[in-house]
Structure 1
Amino acid sequence: MVDSILAVIVLILAGWAIAKNYDAKVVLFIAALVLLYSGLLLGHNVLGAKASTGLSWVDPFKVIKDQFVRQYGNAGLIILTLFGFAAYMSHIGANDMVIKVLTKPLSYVRKPIILIPMVFWVGTCLQIIIPSAASLAVILMATLFPVLRAAGMSTLTAAALIATTATIVPTPLGGDNVVAARVLGFDNVVDYVAFHLAPITIPALFVMGIVHYFWQTYLDKKDAGMLKELDKEAFIEAERPEKNTPTWYFIFPILPLVLVIFFWVFFRKAKVGLVEITLFSLILAFACELIRKRNIKAGMKDLGIFFKGMGDGFSKVVVLIVAASSMVFGLRVMGLIDAISNSISNFENAKVGLMLAFSGITGLITFISGSGNAVFYSFIELIPQIAQKAGIDPIMVALPMQCMSNLFRSMSPVAAVIIIVSASVKVNPLVLVKRTWVPLMSGVVVVLALSFFKYM
C-alpha cells in the first residue's frame, strides 16, 4: 500500500512539473529514477536475476539503457528517419511545393460556406507532410494567410483555421501513430491507422470543419467592430528565401505515404517498413537534386540536413519516449499498475471509466502545459498493461487519449502554435483560443462517442 501511495505522489508531482512547463524529458527521467530507487529501498527487485548487473544500485541505470536499446530497435528508428526526411524536404523546398499545390485551388473559392471548411481540411492534410503544429503554422501564415485575406476572409477566422490544422490527421507517418501502433501490438502502423484511427478521426475532422464555419461566421458578426480595425492592419511576414524549387518536387514529401499504402495493399507479405521506404524516397530526391544543381559537393552537404533532422527527432521525441518508458517501468516495480488493474477489474463500467479518466487527464495537462506529446508518451506505455489485467481493449483507452493530446493543444493559450499565430496577427492568445475551442471540442465529443460505440 505504501508503495502505491508513493508511486502516485511521484506521478502527480511529475504531471504538475510538466504542466508548469518544466522540461518533460528531465522530469520523467527523474521520476523514473526516484521510483526505481524507492523500489530498491522497499525491497523490490528492479530487474530479474538474469537481467541484473549484479549490483542492485546500478540496475536503475540499466533499465534506462535497456529502454534506449529497445526504442532504437522499434519506433525510435522510424521516428528518427521521418524527422530527418522532413528536414531534408524542407531544406530543398519540396514541402513548400506541396503547400503551393494543395492550397492553390483555395484562391479560386470565394464563398465562405465552402472556403472555411475547405481550408481546415486542406490544412489538416498538410500535417501529413509537416507533422509539427508550430512549423506548419509558421509556413501557412507566410503562404496561405495572405491568400485567405485576399479572398475576403477575416483575420481571426483565417488565424483560427491555421491554428487548428495540425490535430488528428490519420497518417502512418505521424510519430505518435508509430508509437501507438508499436505499444498496442501492431506489426504495421498502417493497420492501426486504417482500421482504428481513421474510422474515428475522419468523421471528427469532418464535423470540426462544419462547426468551424458556423462558429467563425457567428463570431465575425459578433466581433465586427474589432475585426474592422484588425483587418486594416497589413500582415507582414519575413521574406522566405527563394529556393527556385520545381513545382513537381511536391511528389517527394508525399512519396513515402504513397509507397507505404502501395506495399500495404499489394505486398502485405513483404516486410518493407517505413525506414526502407523513407530512405528510398530520400535517395531519389537526392539524386534529382544532384541532376538539377549539378554540384555533387553542395548536394552532399545538403544531404547532411537529413542527419541533423534525425538529431532533432532524437532530442524531441525518442528521448521523451525512453524517459516515459523508464517511468512506467518504475511504476510497475512499485506495484501501481497491478493496483490500478485490480481496483478496476470488478467494475462493470471499467471501460468507460478508464477511457474518460485517461482522456480527461491528458486533455487537462495538455491544456495547462500547451504540449500534448509529453503527456501522451508518458501515459501510452501504461495502457496495455492496465487494460490486459482489467480485461478490456487497450485501444478504447489509448486512441481517445492520443486524440485528446492533439485536440487540446490548440485550445491552450500557452501552446506554441497558438502563440505563433496570435503574435503574427497581433492579438492576445486568449482571443485566438476563443475562436478555436468550440470546433475542437466538437472533435473531442465525436472522438469519445465513436470510440465508445466502436469498442464497447
Structure 2
Amino acid sequence: MIDCILAVIILVITGWAIAKNYDAKVVLFAAGLVMLYLALIGGNDVLGAKATSGLAWADPFKVIREQFVRQFSNAGLIILTLFGFAAYMSHIGANDMVIKVLTKPLSKIKHPALLIPLVFWIGTCLQIIIPSAASLAVILMATLYPVLRAAGLSTLTAAALIATTATIVPTPLGGDNVVAARVLGFENVVDYVFYHCAPITIPALFVMGIVHYFWQTYLDKRQRSELEVLNQESMIEENRPEKNTPIWYSIFPVLPLFLVIFFWVFFRKAKVGLVEITLFSLVPAVVSELVRNKNAKETMKDLRLFFNGMGDGFSKVVVLIVAAATMVAGLRALGLIDAISRSVSDFENAKAGLMLAFSAITGLITFISGSGNAAFYSFIEIIPQIAEKAGLDPIMVALPMQCMSNLFRSMSPVAAVVIIVSASIKVNPLVLVKRTWVPLMAGVLTVLLLSFLKYI
C-alpha cells in the first residue's frame, strides 16, 4: 500500500513537471529511476531473477538499457527511418511539391466559405507527409496561408485551419500509430490503422471540418470590425527560398504510403516492413537528384540529411518512448499497475470508466503542457495489462487516448503549433485557441462516442 502511495505521489509530481514545461524526457527518466530504486529499497525485484545483472543497484539502469534494445528492435527503428526520409524529402523540395499539388485546386474555388472544410481535410492529409505539427504549421503558413487570404478567408480563419491540420490522420507512417500497433499486439501497423483507427478518426475528421465551417463563419460575422484591422496588420513575409524542384517530385513523399498499402493488399504474407519500404522509396529520390544535379559529390552530401533526420527521430521520439517505458517499469515495480488492474476488474462499468479516465488524463496533460506525445507514450504501455484485468478490448482505451493527445494539443495556448501560427499573424495565442477549440472538441466527442459504440 505504501509503495502504491509513493508511486501516485511521484506520478503527480511528474505530471506537474511536464505541465510546467520541464523537459519531458528527463522528467520521465528521473521518475522511473526514483521508483525503481524505491522498489529495490522496499525489497521488490525490478528485473527478475533471470535478467538481473547480479548487482541490485545497477538493475534500474539495465532496465533502461533493455528498453532501448526493445525499442530499436520494434517501433524505434521504423520511427528513425521515417524521420530521416521526411528530412531528406523536405531538403530536396519534394514535400513542397506535394503541398503545391494538393493546394492548387483551392485557388479555383470562388466561394471562400467552401474552402474552410476543404482546407482542413487537405491539410490533414498533409500530415501523412510531414508528421510534425509544428513543422507542418511553419510550411503551411509560408505556402498555404497567402493562398487562403487571397481567396478571401479572414486572417483568423486561415490561421485556425492551419493550426488544426495535424491531429488524427489515420496513417501507417505515423509514429504514434506505429507504437500503438506494437503495444497492442498487431504484426502489421496497417491492420491497426485500417480496421481500428480509420473507422473512428475519419468520421471525426469529417465532423470537425463541418464544425469548422459553422464556427469560423459565425466568429467572422461576430468579429467583423476587429478582423478588418487584423487582416491589414497581419502580413506573412515569405522567406522560403525556391528550390526549382520538378513538380513530379511530389510522388516521392507519398511513395512509402502507396507501397505499404500495395504490399498489405497483394502480399500480406510477405515480411516486408516499413523500414524496407522507406529505404526502397529513398533510392529513386536519390537517383533523381543525381540525374537532375549531375553532381555525385553534392548528392551524396545531401543524403547525410537522411541520417541527421534519423538523429532527430531518436532525440524527439524514441528517447521519449524509452523514458516513458522506464517510468512504466517503475510503476510496475512499485505495484501500482497491479493495484489498478485488481481494482478495475471488480467494476461492471469499468469499460466506459477506463476509457474516459485515461482520455481525460491524457487530454488534461496535453492541454497544460502543449505536448501530446509525452502523455500518450507514458500511458500506452500499461493499457493492455489493465484492459485484460478489466475484461475489455485494450483498443477501446488506447485509441481514444491516442486521439486525445493529438486533439488537445491544438487547444493549448502553450503548444508549439499554436505559438508558431499566432506569432506569424501577430495575435495572442488565446485568440487563436478561441478559434480552434470548438471544432477540436467536436472531434473529441465524436471519437469517444464512436469508440464506445464500436468496442462496448
Q: What does residue range 113-262 of structure 1 map to in structure 2 within 5 Å?
A: 113-233=113-233, 235-262=235-262
For 2:47 and 2:363, locate their aligned partners in 1 and report how far apart those are by CA, in whole Å.
33
Matches within 5 A, 1:229-378: 229-233=229-233, 235-378=235-378
Counterpart residue identity of residue 34, structure 1: V
Separation in structure 1 between the aligned mates of residue 193 and residue 426 of structure 2, nearest angstrom? 37
Answer whether contact 1:110 1:152 (CA < 8 A) is retained.
Answer: no
Name the structure 2 match of 1:40.
40
* Paired letter, 1:391: G
Structure 1 residue 17 corresponds to structure 2 residue 30:
no
Task: Please state how far the C-alpha of 1:233 moved relative to its aligned partner.
Answer: 2.3
- Structure 1 equivalent of residue 448 of structure 2: 448
AA paired with 2:236? I
Code of the residue aligned with 1:6 in structure 2: it is: L
Distance 2:438 2:389 in 1: 37
The one-letter code matched in structure 2 to 1:201 is T
* CA distance in 2: counterparts of 1:222 and 1:25, whole angstroms: 43
Whole-angstrom distance in 2 between the partners of 1:121 and 1:392: 33
Q: Does 1:75 align with 2:85?
A: no
User: Offset of 1:168 from its aligned partner?
Assistant: 0.2
Query: Which portions of structure 1, spanning 4 or more consecutive aligned residues, are displaced by more than 4 angstroms?
Result: none
Q: Distance in 2 between matches of 1:217 and 1:312?
A: 39
Instruction: Judge which range, 5-14 or 441-450, deviates more.
Output: 5-14
Unmatched tracts of structure 2, length 5 or more = none
The 3-state SS of whatever aligns with 1:57 is: helix
Aligned to 1:420, the other structure's residue is in SS state: helix
C-alpha contact (below 8 Å) 1:7/1:35 kept by paired residues: yes
Shift of 1:237: 2.0
Instruction: Find the counterpart in structure 2 of residue 411 from structure 1.
Output: 411
Contact 1:79 1:318 in 2 (8 A): yes
Q: Residue in 2 aligned with 1:434?
A: 434
RMSD: 0.7
Q: Are the aligned partners of 1:159 and 1:432 in contact in 2 as well (CA < 8 Å)?
A: yes
1:48 maps to a residue whose letter is G
Q: CA deviation at 1:234?
A: 5.3
Question: 2:8 — aligned with what?
Answer: 8
CA distance in 2, matches of 1:277, 1:237: 38
CA drift at 1:414: 0.5
Quote how far apart the aligned CAs of 1:113 are.
3.7
Residues in 2 aligned to 1:32 and 1:10: alpha-carbon distance in whole angstroms: 9
Q: 1:112 offset after TM fit, Å?
A: 3.2
Residues 8-32 of structure 1 show CA distances to partners (whole Å, capped at 9, x for unaligned) of 1111111111111100000000011
What residue number does 2:386 align with? 386
> What are the superposed Cα offsets for residues 75-95 of structure 1, whole Å, 9 maximum, x if unpaired?
000000000000000000000
SS at match of 2:55: coil
Q: What is the one-letter code of the residue matched to 1:269?
A: K
Normalised to the residue count of structure 1, the TM-score between the two structures is 0.99
Deviations 1:232-256 (A, max 9, x none): 1251324211111000000000000
**SS state at 1:346 partner:** coil
Contact 1:39–1:334, Cα closer than 8 Å, also in 2: yes
* 1:184-232 deviation line (CA, Å, top 9, x unaligned): 0000000000000000000000000000000000000000010011111
Aligned residues: 456
Residue 326 of structure 1 and its aligned partner are, at CA, apart by 1.0
Q: Which amino acid aligns with 1:33?
A: L
Find the aligned partners of 2:233 and 2:3 in 1 and give their Cα distance: 59
Write out per-residue CA displacement over residues 328-359 of structure 1, whole angstroms, 9 at most, x where no aligned residue. 11111111111001111111110100000000
TM-score after normalising by structure 2: 0.99
- Which amino acid in 1 is paired with 2:18? I
Separation of aligned partners in 1, 2:298 and 2:54 = 51
1:163 maps to amino acid: A
Q: What is the Cα deviation at residue 151 of structure 1?
A: 0.6
Specify the SS of the correspondent of 1:254: helix
Percentage of identical aligned residues = 80
Instruction: Find the aligned partners of 2:254 and 2:87 in 1 and give their Cα distance.
Output: 14
Question: 1:4 touches 1:336 (CA, 8 Å); kept in 2?
Answer: yes
Of the structure 1 ranges 382-391 and 427-436, higher mean CA displacement relative to structure 2 is found in 382-391
Query: Counterparts of 2:48 and 2:442 in 1: how far apart (Å)?
Result: 47
Report the secondary structure of 1:58's partner residue.
Answer: helix
Whether the 8 Å contact between 1:120 and 1:164 is mirrored in structure 2 is: yes
CA–CA distance in structure 2, aligned partners of residues 232 and 423 of structure 1 = 15
> Partner amino acid for 1:140?
L
Q: 1:112 & 1:203 partners in 2: Cα distance?
A: 24
For 1:59, the equivalent position in structure 2 comes to 59
* Contact 2:409-2:415 within 8 A present in 1 as well: yes
Q: Would you say the 8 A contact 1:413–1:429 is kept in 2?
A: yes
- For 1:363-409, what per-residue CA distance to the aligned partner results, in whole angstroms no more than 9, with x for missing partners? 01100000000110011111011111222111000000000000000
Higher mean displacement: 389-398 or 116-125: 389-398
Following superposition, the deviation at residue 111 of structure 1 comes to: 1.4
CA distance in 1, matches of 2:364, 2:76: 27
Which amino acid is the alignment partner of residue 372 of structure 1?
G
Matches of 2:180 and 2:234 in 1, distance apart? Answer: 43
- In the alignment, structure 1 segments of 5+ residues that lack a partner are none
- Give the CA deviation at 1:110: 2.1
